[in-house]
Amino acid sequence: MPAGLLARHGRLDELRAAAATDDSRYAVQALARLLEERGDVEGAIAAYRQANGPVTRDPNSAFELAQLLVRHGRGNEAIDVMRVQDDAHNGDDWTLHTLSDLCLDRGRPGDGLTHLNALDAARGGEEDWDLYWIRLPLIAARDGVDEAITQVRSHPDGATSYAAPHIAELLAGAGRTEEAIAVLEQHAHANSHDLAGYLIDVDRVEDALAVLQRYTTRPLELSDGT
């Protein structure tokens, strides 16, 4: 019987047996969710740990476990789970994003940066932009937006069109939307939708429409509701 159906009918013993031999982890997740619904948080945590051992082999299971811990006010443990997961997968960008977001949410940006800096050093200090930008919200939280932007500018790709949206997001998050717009205007062709969104945020709707009409391949048509 499928794990979801076992969970729906509360057949806990059968679900435990399915989870013990389930390489796909679906039964493990179903078991953990059922236990959590019944108020057995420790049992739900144990289900993930017993299925995966000391190091969660499946990134999805690690994420599920981390989210479970966060839901029950155990964010610091969630950070530990994702740190171990990231170490096991050698800086996978998905796990790094999750780890960094957890550190930010828990008010621990310095810990997130320490992990990212160690990873950067292990790679010889040549971090691609796809990984580098993950640190920017952490720097902004710890040292301020201007310091984060200074760090961006020091990166070889810091002045490119794909760095511009990340700079703009930092500025807009600090209430400096006009500055965000100015950054994106330098790379409007590549970032027209982001630029239009910020223009709308400051009630420059006509300017937003002009940007989209200029840089999209098919002209926009305003609907009259008919």
Task: Kindly state the average pLDDT of the residues 32-39.
Answer: 89
Beta carbons of 137 and 125 less than 8 angstroms apart: no
Q: Angle, nearest 10°, between helix axes 59-71 and 93-105?
A: 10
**Residue 121 confidence class, pLDDT cut points 50, 70, 90:** confident
- Whole-model pTM: value is 0.80
Write down the pLDDT at residue 109: 97
Question: For residue 123, what is the DSSP state?
Answer: T
Radius of gyration (C-alpha) of the chain in whole angstroms: 22
Write down the pLDDT at residue 89: 74
20, pLDDT greater than 80: no
> Would you put residue 213 in left (φ > 0), alpha (ψ -120 to 50) or beta?
alpha
Give the DSSP per-residue string, 42-110.
HHHHHHHHHHH-SS-SSHHHHHHHHHHHHHTT-HHHHHHHHHHHHHHTTS-HHHHHHHHHHHHHTT-HH
Task: Kindly state the average pLDDT of the residues 62-70.
Answer: 92
141, pLDDT greater than 70: yes
State the chain's mean pLDDT as an integer.
85
**Residue 68 confidence class, pLDDT cut points 50, 70, 90:** very high
Which tens digit of pLDDT belongs to each residue from 77-95? 999 999 888 887 776 788 8
Residue whose tokens read 């709308």: 200
Residues 49, 51, 54, 58, CA torsion sign: negative
**Residue 226 confidence class, pLDDT cut points 50, 70, 90:** very low
**Side-chain-side CA neighbours of residue 125 (13 Å):** 1
Question: For residue 135, what is the DSSP state?
Answer: G
Q: Which residues of 128-161 are buried (b: 16+ CB within 10 A; e: fewer)?
A: ebebbbbbbbbbbbbeebeebbebbeebeebeee
Write down the pLDDT at residue 199: 98
- ∠ CA 180-153-142, nearest 5°, is 75
Rounded CA separation 107/101 (Å) = 10
Write down the pLDDT at residue 2: 60
Rounded CA separation 180/12 (Å) = 53
Q: What is the dihedral of CA 50, 56, 61, 63, to 10 degrees?
A: 130
**Residue 8 confidence class, pLDDT cut points 50, 70, 90:** low
